[in-house]
A and B are shown apart, each in its own frame.
Chain A
Amino acid sequence: MTRLLTLAGIMLLGAMGGNAFAASYPDRAIKMIVPWAAGGDTDVIYRALAPLLQKHLGQAVVVANVKGASGTVGEREAASAKPDGYTIFAPHDYIHSVYYAGLTDIKYDKAFDPVCLVSATPSVITAGAKTPWKSFKELVEFAKANPGKVKAGASLGSTSQYSLALAAKAAGIKFTYVPYDGTAPRMNALLGGHIDIADSNLTQKGKVDAGLLRFLAIMTEKRNPEMPDVPTLKELGYDVEYAVNRGLMVPKGTPADVKTKLGDACQKATQEPEFAKAMKLQGTEVRYMNAEQYTAFLAKDDKITKDLTKDLGMLKRE
């Protein structure tokens, strides 16, 4: 009931035309648009952040899961929201690829101002137990001998495809991509042997320990202390890294002082030990960047994504 009451409150305030003055920002609840389903990886991470953000902003931060069409529905809603700081967008790196792959016509830097980066979830190349490969090397050998035979599950045009594509490009091999949206359905298909490999993260450690899945390689700079036996692609001789980065953005045109306030709250929230603890459980590192650093980071990422989209033969927009 609390949630409904909060909503009723938001609607009421909205109806009263609360053209909030920035000085008093925030004086009502803030809506955080998570463009994926409740209970998914992204949702769980932002749901851990929301109450901490709320603590430092002094107003309720309500998570709204606006899912659909590889996250582009939520992106569109966030992009067309009033730039008053009462709608914040909680995306991850998919915002680059969905543009280049033609899933949306929204270019992130035209529609949003970055506020802060909060976390990074390193990608782990994961194989099902029914596959013969014990290592990434064996996978590469098989893929070279049988082009197109390795079935990879991924959300097409999103991070789970790009991590694999990046590794494949470095190793000079090609995978056949089968559309599976979300980590849970992909793991399910791996367990059933309907696909051979997929991108996952350290949250799947339990299934690896049980011998149902195999971590072939982690796409980080150094090995992860949680899984010291899993080699990095770098030490295998492939100079690539990949992580799914999550941060906050606001619609373009949001007043500068509102952005500053949000940025400060974000910095404080990510420093909370509670956040670090929650992220560790999600196989994720806390990675804070301020607006300036995040903007530069996104620009670099955007370029890499564009090149990769071209390699995949999926480039629809320049």
Chain B
Amino acid sequence: MSHYELLLTHIGTILHLQYLIPLVAGTAIGVIGGALPGVTITMTVIMVLPFTFGLDPLQGLAAMTGVYVGGSAGGSITASLLGIPGTPSAVATTFDGFPMARKGEPGRAVWVGVWSALLGGVLGGICLIELTGPFASIALVFGPWEFFSLFVFALSMVAGLVGKSVTKGLLSGAIGLVVTVVGPDPILGVQRLTMGLNFLEGGLPFLPVLIGVFAFAQLMPDVEQIRPTGQDHASVAPKRMSLQVSMLGTLWEVLSRPFLLVWSTLVGVLIGVLPAIGGSAANIMAYDQAKKFSRRPEKFGTGIPEGIIASESSNNANVAGSLMMIMAFGIPGDAVTAVMMGALTIHGIQPGPLFITQHPGVAYGIYAAYIVALPLMVLVIWLGARFWLRIIMMPKAILIPIVLVLCVIGAYALSNTMNDVYVLALFCVIGYAMVKGRIPLAPLILGVVLGDQIESNLIRALATDPDPWLFFTRPISGGLIAASVISVIFAMWQHSREAKRAAAGPEEEEDTDF
């Protein structure tokens, strides 16, 4: 029980002003950074890093934990209100959050997201405190074979995300995979498909692709509707706009789906603990699972709370998963925790397997900061809610240029190079063309997230042992391959049932792909 006593003591410590102020500041900055499309959580943490040098280690970590928690939730605000994921981990939030906001319930979309983030975070936190040892050991069992099969399993979810036309969905997924092939190969840097163009020699980095595809694709349909006479506003904004929202009502919407919540959280924690892809895949995987388990899969993508809950609870639980690997082995699970670990070493603390016993103050401080950051995140978003929700009421002629400029600055700032801006421009065009052709965007993103990882791990596995049967005979790997097959078959069955129902139904609903 001393475990929880230690935790409570440290929550008490964190609540002291000297730690609370950096934590609050970090959370607020995280929410803003997460909400700005193109500004990732990693960038926000790097930005905060120099300020933490002058602080004591726990103050610095409190600030960064705040950024991490705030950023993960902040991404959902832009995702729901503008349809552009503020961070890669909020991609799936756009699927239902944006349609819900468009239907005139932006407040509901945001708050279902916030409560899911809070509850997913709390459940993830319990896993972090109770299950770090066993979960982290599972992660170590994952060799290249298991990672390969896991990513193939994730890719099989394209089948569940294709929307109305299977062909178009597969096409989109294929484009995504091709995107990862362009540029240097992941092992020896041999240039592929660069066509002699200099700017392709770095490949097509994920974030500019993501921002490009979503920003333009989501904003252009609005631009098309802007009237030159200036009376655009009323025609574009949804007729009934409810900024008011019942906080308890939205909380209940989340709590009344405990199975969905727990399952999505588990997906998030497990993907987070595996040091490879993190939140950018967890949210899409949780969304797909939610759709598979749902009694009304055909409603996904039309603006139902289940989609938001799955995405947001999984991506915040993912934070807890990433922290587990640092706590257990001193290995960063993603770019954000890599920077946090860098900060620890700058303060003279070497994270590693003895971290918790050697530095209990710092370790439990991180646990405590994580737990305290969650309600603070809700508070920050609540205080800013008026402001956030106003965004959607802004005349589009003003809002859209601002958002696009922010996207370009964000893309440039990723690595301070113009190449990323060119890639952004290219994918703005591709994304818009895809929307015009009614090709869903989600499979493309999944393809881009997974392509490199599938390739690297395939090569790694075969370089370790040339026997291809290992993919099937290693139990976890074999199980995941079997799960991929089942996942595809299930999606096909669900799809055909949906098609039959649609054929029997009186009229076709509007195509709500992506």
Instruction: Give chain A's interface residues, CB within 8 Å of chain B.
Output: 1-4, 7-8, 10-11, 31, 37-40, 43-44, 47-48, 51, 62, 64-70, 72-73, 76-77, 80, 98, 101-104, 151, 156-157, 176-181, 184-185, 187-189, 191-192, 194-195, 203-207, 209-210, 212, 278, 281-282
Query: Among A72, A104, A176, A207, which residue has its beta carbon within 8 angstroms of that of B330?
Result: A207
Nearest chain B residue, comparing its CB with the CB of A64: B416
Q: Is B187 engaged at the interface, CB distance under 8 Å to the other chain?
A: yes
Q: Could you tell me if A210 and B47 are in contact, using CB atoms closer than 8 angstroms?
A: no
Give the 5 A-B CB pairs with smallest separation, nearest first: A206-B352, A39-B338, A69-B184, A69-B189, A64-B416
16 more contacts with CB within 8 A, not counting A38-B42, A47-B342, A191-B331, are A3-B43, A31-B416, A51-B50, A76-B201, A103-B184, A151-B464, A185-B275, A194-B143, A203-B345, A203-B350, A207-B329, A207-B330, A209-B352, A210-B352, A212-B329, A282-B345
Nearest chain A residue, comparing its CB with the CB of B339: A39
Q: What residues on B are CB-neighbors of A180 within 8 Å?
A: 460
Q: Could you tell me if A177 and B203 are in contact, using CB atoms closer than 8 angstroms?
A: no
Q: Could you tell me if A281 and B184 are in contact, using CB atoms closer than 8 angstroms?
A: no
Query: Among A156, A176, A281, which residue has its beta carbon within 8 angstroms of that of B187?
Result: A156
CA distance A212 to B459 in the complex (A): 26
Q: Output the least CB separation between A151 and chain B (Å).
A: 6
Q: Is B144 engaged at the interface, CB distance under 8 Å to the other chain?
A: yes
Q: Is B346 engaged at the interface, CB distance under 8 Å to the other chain?
A: yes
Q: Could you tell me if A195 and B464 are in contact, using CB atoms closer than 8 angstroms?
A: yes
**Segment at the interface with A among B98-106, B208-216, B407-415:** B407-415
Q: Could you tell me if A194 and B350 are in contact, using CB atoms closer than 8 angstroms?
A: no
Q: Could you tell me if B413 and A3 are in contact, using CB atoms closer than 8 angstroms?
A: yes
Q: What residues on A are CB-neighbors of B201 within 8 Å?
A: 69, 73, 76
Q: Is B12 engaged at the interface, CB distance under 8 Å to the other chain?
A: no
Q: A69-B202, A207-B329 are in contact. Are A192 and B140 (CB under 8 A)?
A: yes
Q: Which residues of B347-387 have CB atoms within 8 Å of chain A's CB atoms?
A: 348, 350-355, 358
Q: Could you tell me if A39 and B203 are in contact, using CB atoms closer than 8 angstroms?
A: no
Q: Could you tell me if A188 and B416 are in contact, using CB atoms closer than 8 angstroms?
A: no
Q: Is B417 engaged at the interface, CB distance under 8 Å to the other chain?
A: yes
Query: Among A157, A185, A194, A210, which residue has its beta carbon within 8 angstroms of that of B464?
Result: A194
Q: Could you tell me if B189 and A281 are in contact, using CB atoms closer than 8 angstroms?
A: no
- Per-residue contact bits, chain B 39-82, to A (CB 8 Å; 1 contact, 0 not): 10011001101100000000000000000000000000000000
Q: What residues on B are CB-neighbors of A157 within 8 Å?
A: 188-189
Q: Could you tell me if B332 and A72 are in contact, using CB atoms closer than 8 angstroms?
A: no
Q: Could you tell me if A178 and B342 are in contact, using CB atoms closer than 8 angstroms?
A: no
Nearest chain A residue, comparing its CB with the CB of B336: A39
Q: Is B8 engaged at the interface, CB distance under 8 Å to the other chain?
A: no
- The size of the chain B interface, using a CB distance under 8 A, is 57
CA distance A156 to B186 in the complex (A): 10
CB pairs A–B below 8 angstroms (26 shown): A3-B413, A7-B412, A37-B335, A38-B46, A39-B335, A43-B342, A44-B342, A44-B346, A48-B346, A68-B202, A70-B189, A72-B189, A73-B202, A73-B203, A77-B419, A103-B190, A157-B189, A176-B463, A191-B140, A192-B140, A203-B350, A207-B329, A207-B330, A209-B352, A281-B345, A281-B350
CA distance A44 to B358 in the complex (A): 23
Q: A3-B47, A192-B141 are in contact. Are A156 and B188 (CB under 8 A)?
A: yes
Q: Output the least CB separation between A197 and chain B (Å).
A: 13
Q: What residues on A are CB-neighbors of B332 within 8 Å?
A: 39, 184
Nearest chain A residue, comparing its CB with the CB of B406: A4
Q: Could you tell me if A7 and B188 are in contact, using CB atoms closer than 8 angstroms?
A: no
Q: Is B494 engaged at the interface, CB distance under 8 Å to the other chain?
A: no
Q: Is B341 engaged at the interface, CB distance under 8 Å to the other chain?
A: yes
Q: Could you tell me if A38 and B417 are in contact, using CB atoms closer than 8 angstroms?
A: no
Q: Could you tell me if B464 and A281 are in contact, using CB atoms closer than 8 angstroms?
A: no
Q: Is B422 engaged at the interface, CB distance under 8 Å to the other chain?
A: no
CA distance A95 to B428 in the complex (A): 35
CA distance A188 to B54 in the complex (A): 31
Q: Output the least CB separation between B71 and chain A (Å).
A: 14
Q: Could you tell me if A103 and B188 are in contact, using CB atoms closer than 8 angstroms?
A: yes
Q: Could you tell me if B415 and A66 are in contact, using CB atoms closer than 8 angstroms?
A: yes
Q: What residues on A are CB-neighbors of B342 within 8 Å?
A: 38-39, 43-44, 47
Q: Could you tell me if B346 and A178 are in contact, using CB atoms closer than 8 angstroms?
A: no
Q: What residues on A are CB-neighbors of B143 within 8 Å?
A: 189, 192, 194
Nearest chain A residue, comparing its CB with the CB of B325: A188
Query: Among B39, B47, B49, B460, which residue has its beta carbon within 8 angstroms of that of A178?
Result: B460
Nearest chain B residue, comparing its CB with the CB of A67: B415
Q: A38-B338, A68-B203 are in contact. Are A101 and B140 (CB under 8 A)?
A: no
Q: Is B263 engaged at the interface, CB distance under 8 Å to the other chain?
A: no
Q: Could you tell me if B335 and A178 are in contact, using CB atoms closer than 8 angstroms?
A: no
Q: Is B456 engaged at the interface, CB distance under 8 Å to the other chain?
A: yes
Q: Could you tell me if A68 and B183 are in contact, using CB atoms closer than 8 angstroms?
A: yes
CA distance A206 to B202 in the complex (A): 35
